[in-house]
Chains A and B, each alone.
Chain A
Amino acid sequence: MRVRVRERGRERAEGQHILSTSALRFAELSLARATHDPAGLAVPMGRQRDSGACHAMSARNKYAQVDRTYTHTRSPLSPLIKPSLPTPSGAFGFVILAQEIETGEHWAIKFLERGNKITKVRMWRESERERVGRRWALSIFSPSLSCFPLVHSTSAGS
């Protein structure tokens, strides 16, 4: 028992150490970035070019995919609520674990599908679904764009 307590104590001391060094490391890193350290990790890609299109596309060549299956948010809701709502993180796209080719550093890259989506309609639908009394909302809305005029006329008429 004693051993266990000591171990726990040591573990905590180590944890404290991690916390403070991480803060330090972090501050150094931030300062290096702030001063545009040319040898720093974050070579400011964007600042060197003006053409947004060009740089936005070329940045991806910096990274190599390590693990396509890596996801950091998954099945977020309890079994209780899961069937009644889509999982908020389920549809955002996907996350990969990537390695920066030049430095070997690991990064998580979150991919969202391009193209605009009318997210507010969805948000509205979600909030409506939460309000059990408003059944009409569920019957009127479909997630597609085409339902939009209906939103208009209904809310103006009620």
Chain B
Amino acid sequence: MTREAAIDKALDYYDDEDKGYYKDLADRVAVPTESQNPDRLSESYRYLHDFMTPAFDAMGYNCTVYDNPFDGFGPVLLATRIEDDDLPTLLGYGHGDVIRGQDGRWENDRDPWVLDFDGDRVYGRGTADNKGQHTVHMAAVRSVIETRGALGFNHKFIIEMGEENGSKGFKELVAAEKEDFAADVYFASDGPRVDMARPNLTLGCRGTRNFDLVLNLRSGGHHSGNWGGLLANPGVILNHAIATIVDARGKILVDGLRPPPISNSVRNALKDVVREGGDGAPDIDHDWGEPGLTPPEKVYAWNSFEVLAFTTGNPENPVNAVPPSARANCQLRYVVGTDGDRAPEIIAEHLKANGFDMISVEEPPAGNAGRFAAARTDPEHPWAGWMRAAAERTYGDRVAVLPNSGGSICNDVFQDVLGIPFVWMPLSYTGCNQHAPNEHILKPLTREGMRMVSGAYWDMGDADLGYRL
């Protein structure tokens, strides 16, 4: 009964491609849990009832499925295993929903809902984000229970089904059921590690605020010959407006959308961070973004403004008409210190001040209503230090600590509602195409993740090593 035995048991499961990890992952990827697609809501329930609940039940967890407080949005599963009221309670998390499958746009005609192996890569929608990652955690926990006979700590695990659609209702649900979700510390996996070559812990995330900029000048199109020069073109005006928000090299021009200066502690932590996306990752555009910052500073310590989509006219079948309207789906990603949730009001004021008051700022489409607060656990917090030590015991070398991730997740629920320190151990890599066609994971990183997550759970239940309040 040793740490090594628990890790080996988890690896046996990982390596058994017929009955082990990839069999379970294939079954889970096959459930098309697209949370941005309202027609798929029943698939979210099926994922929890047919796949998650039986797996947690078998490990001695009590499972409760909560409906989302907002109609039409995904449910939340809480699996709870209380071993001893005197032991600390660890909260874990995964999300079972995925972004749209984008069927037909994958290379080699891959079906997003069928796991497909190609060398070290394993393709499928949700492999990286997040089915492959919570499947690792569930296996690691089981290995510890089977090896030790118990976890040695209390454990709660959340499976959310609406993360890719902005986690709508999740915060309200946890707030309403605070007792059920209460815990002392938080450990989970999502997203990519920053450097292919080295694991890292992540202590927070950028926030996200999506919104649309809309210019609706008239009800229909008008012949561009008869009217060209007489009717204002909404696509031209909206592009000019966006050009006053972000410059041609990606620098944000509106004060309220820019973060305060980067603190020394964050700047120092990021000195140790290398951005290495691995094969297939896009090339970083070094002349893009805030001038004078390093790539890690740009994405982990600074805000970014994106035009996610823009349409005017009829791009599929253009006609020779002055288009009547234009719409840009925009997004601000922001770090702690920016009041990013106010981005729509700030932009509206900016547009007005710059003569673009004909443009309205609207809430984003329900299918892509990303809205997350920025959050960060203090790098000096003891839980961050303990997790780092546990990770390094398995890895055998220094791991990097990221003050926050570039992406956004519901950390504010843990930070603001539950008030607990949170640490993430991402198991994917930045080239994983997680929000695009060709999403995949890498076998060596996933196997290493299985070792490190198992080691951390083992240590948490160890009478001497375990984190105690």
Is B truly associated with A? no
